[in-house]
Structure 1
Amino acid sequence: MYSPLTGKQLRSTTLASARGNLWEGAVRSSKTVSSILVWLKYVRTGPAGPLLMVGKTERTLKRNIIDPIIEMVGTRRCVYKSGVGELILFGRTIYVAGANDERAAEKIKGLTLAGAYLDEVTTFPESFFAMLGTRLSVFGAQWFGTTNPEGPNHWLKKKYLDRARLHLQRDGQLAESSDPSAIDLHRFSFSLDDNPYLPPSYVESLKLEYTGLFYKRYILGEWCLAEGVVYDMFDETRHVVDLLPDISHWMCVGLDYGTINPFSALLVGVGSDSRLYVASEYRHDSRTARRQLTDAEYSEGVRGWLASYEHRGSKGVSPQWVFVDPSAASFMTQLWSDGMPGVAKADNAVKDGIRSVSMALGKNLLSIHRSCAGLLTELPAYAWDEKAAAKGEDAPLKVDDHSVDALRYALHSSAHQWRHLIRSNLEVAA
């Protein structure tokens, strides 16, 4: 069930009259519902001609937008043709596409469109968005989109949002541009608190999930730079321990593969106190050792490390998962052939992975044993790339990042197993 729109949500739907209309800001702030309702009306009453719906991928578009539409209007009025790239909505055929790389622009070349709906616009290549503008050539054509904020130098903000003719701001004020170079775009900015229907306990939980950069963007709805140290919440006095508690579950190993660069593996367990612990590190740096190891030698080393690890009188551990750098296909094959259980490709989403590690550190859910020298050396110095930020991209510097990558693989790939611990630990602390 969807509640009636109110306040800024409702106001945005009445103002969505420009050629381009974009809802941007915090997660769960009602951007999607507001934009979908406008799109449903447009499909019924907009000008005749082909329509298009786009997401980062067709799968994310289905999850974020098409499934909610089906829930709203029912399966008789909305039919998704999986694998065909079409959606039948109110009897009108809509093309469906993903736009996750530079080749995406080829998908819409030659189209003449009467309207478009765009989900997660900041994830699109700029070339695709520019091409889309040329395709919306039917008289009266409009596009409607949603996005979360990124850096202030992102192409969407600098070239489009900052030039919007009308802006419904986060404070609720309406600003109209008098700049003659303003474009026919209406921008609607939301923070998490703009959704009055979210239960207070849920809002509190969301606010607890994010910290630092991600809190500013996904809770406050700010377009802010990724700058300085990535894990600025890391504090040796809080996060480094000399003794480990009993470990109730050896959850995983995160493994970053290297030949010329260092090879790093981290063992992560859940303590009896319901907190996460990086208990041990296996690391080989061929630059200092002056010897590169083969896949077979690395496999032997990792398996020997786990078999010989001692904790509270017990020797040898068998983690549930071994999450491996997804580019290291030959090494995964070696581990499988050597009988290593639980080997899987790590989730290598960089920014989402950094968010998972930030969450664990920021909520004091993660501790690192002092023996993990490589990780403890890299964490305080791991920084955002200023040159990438200047181009509107969020990327860490690719320098001394082998153990921090292993940590990201471990925590992000297993996030579904430990995120609930944030709430239980806060309740204990209270």
Structure 2
Amino acid sequence: MVRRIKPQPIFKFAPFSKKQLQVLTWWRYPGTMNHKMLICDGSVRAGKTVTMSLSYVIWSMTNYSGQNFGMAGKTIGSFRRNVLSPLKRMLAGRHYQVLDHRTDNMIEIRKGGVTNFYYIFGGRDESSQDLVQGITTAGFFFDEVALQPESFVNQATARVSVDGGKYWFNCNPEGPYHWFKLNWLDDKSKDSLIIHFTMDDNPSLSDQIKRDLRSLYTGVFYRRYIEGLWVLAEGVVYSNWNQDTMTEHITDVHDYEDYYVSCDYGIQNPTVFLMFGQKGTTWHCLKMFYHSGRESQVEHDDAWYADRMDEFIGDIKTDIIIDPSASSFRRTLQNRGYSVRKANNDVVPGIRATQTAMNSGRLMFADNLKQMFAEFGSYIWDAKAAERGEDKVVKQHDHCMDALRYFVYMVIYKNVTAKMVQKPSWLRG
């Protein structure tokens, strides 16, 4: 299916910063034009993606006609949302004609007798490398390359085999032993132009927006996404936890606008139910159920835990979000008439979303959640995994943390993301 892009409002630019101008023009000037690749890393909302994607298209349309080019994000959906949507508006303002071949995941761009073809890929996992085999390209643009597997990036860059072809990378930092940092950023043998960004390099951000963004992150995510540093995930995961300011005394769980129950399920390991109620933009963790088969030396079956769920929910109408591995317990609950959703178990993005919800006041806790408060102090990053370039948590004292993360990622984060897709805001990216 070929779809002509509908006219959209013209993209309004703020004045460019020096670094943004360098991204837009590096391929035109003798001092930088011979570099094989451009790498832009640094903080969120620094204007990397907007300027890089526009520069990539202008470069390719200036130097080639009738060629194939690659463009990749972690998923095709995220790339279309975060890159192509603003790119189309920018190109429309410069009188480019854009045809979207959605079936082929290809964008055809025309202007002044020049036509090129831009194939879109998702670098989700190791199998993604198979998607790029066989294509010959004159350039490849990677958005959020640090979130893509090394095998995919290696296969995609190997497809750039047209004279003068270049690679374009952007990303927010991860750990200092991440494969992209070691094998691309730190490899001096690669012919790279590296430009490091902070939020101050984006003139479109007001001081208030920058203050708001800084307030959303703490710990390792602050150092990476605000300071733009490649640092280890170490120590306590929720270093932002403050029992004095994030708890409240709750006497009645019935006075809320909407409800969810989140569940992490175990037989010997603890089973945790958390009930959340919404008032305005804030979700309140109202109460919890906690039972450890190992500690009590009594193991129970699905039916026993379903009985406890009946007692826990009582007369409140709510959906249940459950550990995706708990298939038999999920069926037991469904057979009792509950609406049950499998949680997204993407750990690090879920942790980041939970930390942001806590920092922004979108999440509060009843003051009597004893086991949860203990886990906040003992839930830590895995130091050995960090040395391998991986962000992982130690799988101990984490059952309340998992149930909390399931809820935030499936409800608070998804709702905020949906609103941003409808009406883009400074929170995106």
Q: Scaled by the length of structure 1, what TM-score is found?
A: 0.83
Q: Structure 1 pair 388/6, CA: closer, same or farther in 2 (3 Å)?
A: same
1:61 has 2:79 as partner = yes
Q: Structure 1 pair 405/127, CA: closer, same or farther in 2 (3 Å)?
A: same
SS of the residue corresponding to residue 104 of structure 2 reads: coil
Aligned to 1:132: 156
Report the more deviating stretch, 203-212 or 220-229: 203-212
Q: Which residues of 2 match residues 314-333 of structure 1 at below 5 A?
A: 316-319=315-318, 321-333=319-331
2:289, 2:234 → 1: CA distance?
30
- Which residue type is aligned with residue 83 of structure 2? I
Kept after mapping to 1: 8 A contact 2:238/2:355? yes
Match of 1:2 among 9, 12, 35: 12
Q: CA deviation at 1:35?
A: 0.3
C-alpha deviations, 1:128-148, integer Å up to 9, x for none?
A: 222223222222110112211
Q: CA deviation at 1:364?
A: 5.6
Q: CA deviation at 1:289?
A: 3.2
1:405 has 2:402 as partner = yes
Q: Structure 1 pair 80/259, CA: closer, same or farther in 2 (3 Å)?
A: farther
SS of the residue corresponding to residue 267 of structure 2 reads: coil
Kept after mapping to 1: 8 A contact 2:68/2:138? yes
Aligned to 1:261: 269
Q: Which residues of 2 match residues 216-227 of structure 1 at below 5 A?
A: 216-227=223-234
Q: Aligned pair count?
A: 392
C-alpha root-mean-square deviation of aligned residues, in Å?
A: 2.6
Q: State the identity %.
A: 32
1:363, 1:40 → 2: CA distance?
37
Q: Which residues of 2 match residues 22-421 of structure 1 at below 5 A?
A: 22-47=39-64, 49-74=67-92, 77-90=97-110, 91-163=115-187, 181-241=188-248, 243-244=250-251, 247-270=255-278, 275-307=282-314, 316-319=315-318, 321-341=319-339, 343-363=340-360, 366-415=363-412
Q: Structure 1 pair 418/57, CA: closer, same or farther in 2 (3 Å)?
A: closer
Q: Structure 1 pair 405/52, CA: closer, same or farther in 2 (3 Å)?
A: same
2:362, 2:77 → 1: CA distance?
32
Match of 2:23 among 12, 17, 21: 12
SS of the residue corresponding to residue 257 of structure 2 reads: strand
Aligned to 2:421: none
- Which residue type is aligned with residue 41 of structure 1? I
Kept after mapping to 1: 8 A contact 2:41/2:172? yes
Q: Structure 1 pair 237/418, CA: closer, same or farther in 2 (3 Å)?
A: farther
Aligned to 2:38: 21
SS of the residue corresponding to residue 182 of structure 1 reads: coil
- Which residue type is aligned with residue 316 of structure 2? V
2:416, 2:124 → 1: CA distance?
28
Kept after mapping to 2: 8 A contact 1:323/1:344? yes
- Which residue type is aligned with residue 254 of structure 1? S
Kept after mapping to 1: 8 A contact 2:218/2:239? no
Kept after mapping to 2: 8 A contact 1:47/1:139? no
Kept after mapping to 2: 8 A contact 1:160/1:183? yes
- Which residue type is aligned with residue 40 of structure 1? V
Q: Structure 1 pair 64/236, CA: closer, same or farther in 2 (3 Å)?
A: closer
Q: CA deviation at 1:357?
A: 2.2
SS of the residue corresponding to residue 414 of structure 1 reads: helix
Q: Structure 1 pair 108/363, CA: closer, same or farther in 2 (3 Å)?
A: closer
Report the more deviating stretch, 256-265 or 9-18: 9-18
Q: What are structure 2's unaligned runs of at least 5 residues?
A: 1-10, 28-32, 418-429
- Which residue type is aligned with residue 106 of structure 2? E
SS of the residue corresponding to residue 160 of structure 1 reads: helix
Q: Structure 1 pair 148/288, CA: closer, same or farther in 2 (3 Å)?
A: same
Q: Structure 1 pair 338/213, CA: closer, same or farther in 2 (3 Å)?
A: same
Q: Structure 1 pair 84/133, CA: closer, same or farther in 2 (3 Å)?
A: closer
Report the more deviating stretch, 237-246 or 224-233: 237-246
1:407, 1:78 → 2: CA distance?
43
Q: CA deviation at 1:162?
A: 1.9
1:363, 1:110 → 2: CA distance?
47
Kept after mapping to 1: 8 A contact 2:140/2:157? no
Q: Structure 1 pair 279/147, CA: closer, same or farther in 2 (3 Å)?
A: same
Q: Scaled by the length of structure 2, what TM-score is found?
A: 0.83
Q: Structure 1 pair 72/417, CA: closer, same or farther in 2 (3 Å)?
A: closer
C-alpha deviations, 1:337-357, integer Å up to 9, x for none?
A: 21124x322233322221222
Q: Structure 1 pair 263/186, CA: closer, same or farther in 2 (3 Å)?
A: same
Q: What are structure 1's unaligned runs of at least 5 residues?
A: 164-180, 308-315, 421-430
Q: CA deviation at 1:123?
A: 1.0
Kept after mapping to 1: 8 A contact 2:215/2:359? no
- Which residue type is aligned with residue 12 of structure 2? Y
Report the more deviating stretch, 33-42 or 5-14: 5-14
Q: CA deviation at 1:21?
A: 0.8
- Which residue type is aligned with residue 37 of structure 1? L
Kept after mapping to 1: 8 A contact 2:54/2:90? no
